[in-house]
Amino acid sequence: MADLVYQQVITDLNKRIMANEFIDKKLPDERSLSEQYHVSRSSIKRALNVLANQGLIFKKRGSGTFINPLYLKNQSSFKYEGTNLGITDSLNTEGAQPSIQLLDFQVIPASQELQQDLFLAPDEFVYEIKRLRLLDEQPFMIETGYIPIKLVPELNRQIVSGSIFSYVQKTLKAAVTKSFLSISADVSTATDQKLLTLKATEPVGVMGGIFFLDDGTPFEVSNMRLHYKYMKYTTFVSTEQ
Amino acid sequence: MADLVYQQVITDLNKRIMANEFIDKKLPDERSLSEQYHVSRSSIKRALNVLANQGLIFKKRGSGTFINPLYLKNQSSFKYEGTNLGITDSLNTEGAQPSIQLLDFQVIPASQELQQDLFLAPDEFVYEIKRLRLLDEQPFMIETGYIPIKLVPELNRQIVSGSIFSYVQKTLKAAVTKSFLSISADVSTATDQKLLTLKATEPVGVMGGIFFLDDGTPFEVSNMRLHYKYMKYTTFVSTEQ
DNA sequence: TTTTTTAAATGGACCGGTGCAATTCACGCA
DNA sequence: TGCGTGAATTGCACCGGTCCATTTAAAAAA
């Protein structure tokens, strides 16, 4: 992935953990790891912190560092798939073929709320992009996105029918790596039902997000309505910091 | 909160940011902050990293550190409330009066799935606790929790009618600080509709979680069905680490 | 004036260290 | 046998430094 020291340690520890090398569920102490890997203890700590934030290990002062047993026996319903922006560009498709159907594409003046969220002046314009996302022909998500035209002036129907994020990464050389995300549920509308092939009683999952570029520029406001069986957001939460 | 150096820096920077002290949305550089606060640059970096992970600031190498504008103008629909376990013990009640109604409380053998998730032997027992949570008399959540009896042998109806987590914190002196969390949506069942006063077409939000003690001991498996208007999970996500 | 080059500013990675706090464990005493 | 007590183990906070990559700005050249 990268040539950074602490990331190499992460990668290697991950391998060793998954290979069940630490039978007693206990990792070597930080000082030993520092010697084993020939890196400073700081770098070891950094690597371990990342793993702890992912819920893969637990650290206990005075006692040691231990592997989260639930990570090994992940035949359970819990399968944490690492950080993702909640966006389907980085979706774990698991063999299914993702596709996109463009519903609508136009340029409109930014509403007041969009002005705030995308940090725009009152007279600026945004693309409004409505898309239907499918997995193996099965529609699962209606996505309405708003992107300032000034950020990507040359957007067109063809680009928008593919992955916008990867297009941006190539042309602007700026990755979309951060987002505010809000997750809720809602009654399905007639449109939802038609597009997502839902029964009247079946709901949608709603994910709203503001996506940012590396440098903090708000890039897109997105509203996603998902077939309720396809929305499953999993995460590891820690109140410590 | 604590007497830790980097946390003091976080607290103070937070204040200064909210007080709009940095009019140009730019923070002093790390080396200056290090001098101002009379702490090492490492500690400054640590503090800034926390703030960056919360989405409050963005760092740009070679350029500086900038405040996320959306944090100041938070009159928008986005109001990020910091890390929480998704549990209502730490709920932002905002004036509303939370209460609990105990629906059911018994001891049962751990199912196979519970054995895995709570790391139990086949012959161990768990409490099954069904509770209805309300805000100002309005029921909003049906919660079914499973806790190994060996962890809290002296649990009773009275304790369970209040906050289990704060009871644990007092008696075991071990806080519940981490959780796997899974968020989805579902059609409401007849029971949901009755208890949460939902119409037949209205859905529930579903939050499933495994909660851990500080030391990594799986403490509780919880399944929560929420009135869909009360489920709103917000978070800041970054793919970098 | 415009372009190119150079230097300064600024965050990132990493090191190797000090002292401390929580836990564990062995040893000695009762 | 059981219970302290103290030493060893282990992670935590923090320091202050080196060198580097990226960005911006100033200086020099065209």
**A13-35 pLDDT tens trace:** 999 998 989 988 899 999 999 99
- Nucleotides in chain C near protein beta carbons (<7 Å): 8-17, 21-24
Q: Is the pLDDT of residue A184 over 70?
A: yes
Token couple for A207: 């994910």
Other Cβ atoms less than 10 A from the Cβ of B54: the count is 19
How far apart, in Å, are the Cα atoms of B92 and each of A35, B80, B220, B234? 46, 11, 22, 12
CB contact under 8 A, B60 and A214: yes
Laid out side by side, the sheet with A218-227 consists of A98-109, A125-135, A138-148, A218-227, A204-213, A176-186, B233-238
Q: Is the pLDDT of residue A204 over 60?
A: yes
Sign of torsion over alpha carbons B214, B215, B220, B223? positive
Length of chain A: 241
Residues of B in contact with A182 (CB under 8 A): 77-78, 232-234
Q: In chain A, which residues fall in CATH 1.10.10.10?
A: 2-73
Q: Which of residues 38-97 of A touch strand C (CB under 7 A)?
A: 39-43, 46, 60-63
Please indicate whether residue A194 or residue B178 has the higher confidence score (pLDDT): A194
Q: Which among B55, B86, B210 has the least Cβ separation from residue A180? A: B55
Asked if B79 reaches chain A (Cβ–Cβ under 8 Å), the answer is: no
Q: Yes or no: say if B213 and B174 are a contact pair by the CB < 8 Å rule.
A: yes
CB contact under 8 A, B216 and A58: yes
Q: Is the pLDDT of residue B23 over 60?
A: yes
Q: Yes or no: say if B17 and B24 are a contact pair by the CB < 8 Å rule.
A: no
Q: Which of A128, A213, A226, A117 is nearest to A171 (CA)?
A: A213
- Per-residue pLDDT, B225: 96
Laid out side by side, the sheet with B176-186 consists of A233-238, B176-186, B204-213, B218-227, B138-148, B125-135, B98-109
Distance from residue A29's CA to nucleotide C27's C1', rounded to whole Å: 25
B30-39 tens-digit pLDDT = 999 999 999 9
Q: Is the pLDDT of residue B227 over 80?
A: yes
The alpha carbon of residue A150 is apart from the nearest alpha carbon of chain B, in Å, by: 18
From the alpha carbon of A174, which nucleotide's C1' atom is closest?
A: D22
Q: Is the pLDDT of residue B88 over 50?
A: no
Q: Which among B86, B180, B214 has the least Cβ separation from residue A55? A: B180
- Interhelix angle A5-18/A41-53, nearest 10 degrees: 60
Write the CATH number of the domain with boundaries A2-73: 1.10.10.10
Distance from residue A26's CA to nucleotide C29's C1', rounded to whole Å: 34
Q: Kindly determine whether the C-beta of residue A45 is less than 7 Å away from any atom of nucleic acid strand D.
A: yes
CB contact under 8 A, B75 and A116: yes
The alpha carbon of residue A63 is apart from the nearest alpha carbon of chain B, in Å, by: 10
Q: In chain B, which residues fall in CATH 3.40.1410.10?
A: 87-230
Q: State phi, psi for A150 to the nearest 5 degrees.
A: -65, -20
User: Residues 135 to 194 of B: which have CB under 8 A from any A CB?
Assistant: 177-187
**Average pLDDT over all residues of chain B:** 87
Distance from residue A61's CA to nucleotide D5's C1', rounded to whole Å: 21
Q: Kindly determine whether the C-beta of residue B62 is less than 7 Å away from any atom of nucleic acid strand C.
A: yes
Band (A180; pLDDT cuts 50, 70, 90):
confident
Band (B119; pLDDT cuts 50, 70, 90):
confident
Residues of B in contact with A179 (CB under 8 A): 236-237
Asked if B80 reaches chain A (Cβ–Cβ under 8 Å), the answer is: yes
Q: Kindly determine whether the C-beta of residue A65 is less than 7 Å away from any atom of nucleic acid strand D.
A: yes
The alpha carbon of residue B113 is apart from the nearest alpha carbon of chain A, in Å, by: 7
Residue nearest to nucleotide C11 (CA to C1'): B61
- Nucleotides in chain D near protein beta carbons (<7 Å): 8-17, 21-24
Domain A87-230: which CATH class?
alpha beta
Band (A137; pLDDT cuts 50, 70, 90):
confident
Question: Could you tell me which residues come within 8 angstroms of residue A170 by beta carbon, excluding any fewer than 6 positions away?
Answer: none
Q: Is the pLDDT of residue B64 over 80?
A: yes
From the alpha carbon of B64, which nucleotide's C1' atom is closest?
A: C10
- Per-residue pLDDT, B136: 86
Q: Kindly determine whether the C-beta of residue A35 is less than 7 Å away from any atom of nucleic acid strand D.
A: no
Token couple for B105: 């409380």
- Per-residue pLDDT, B176: 86
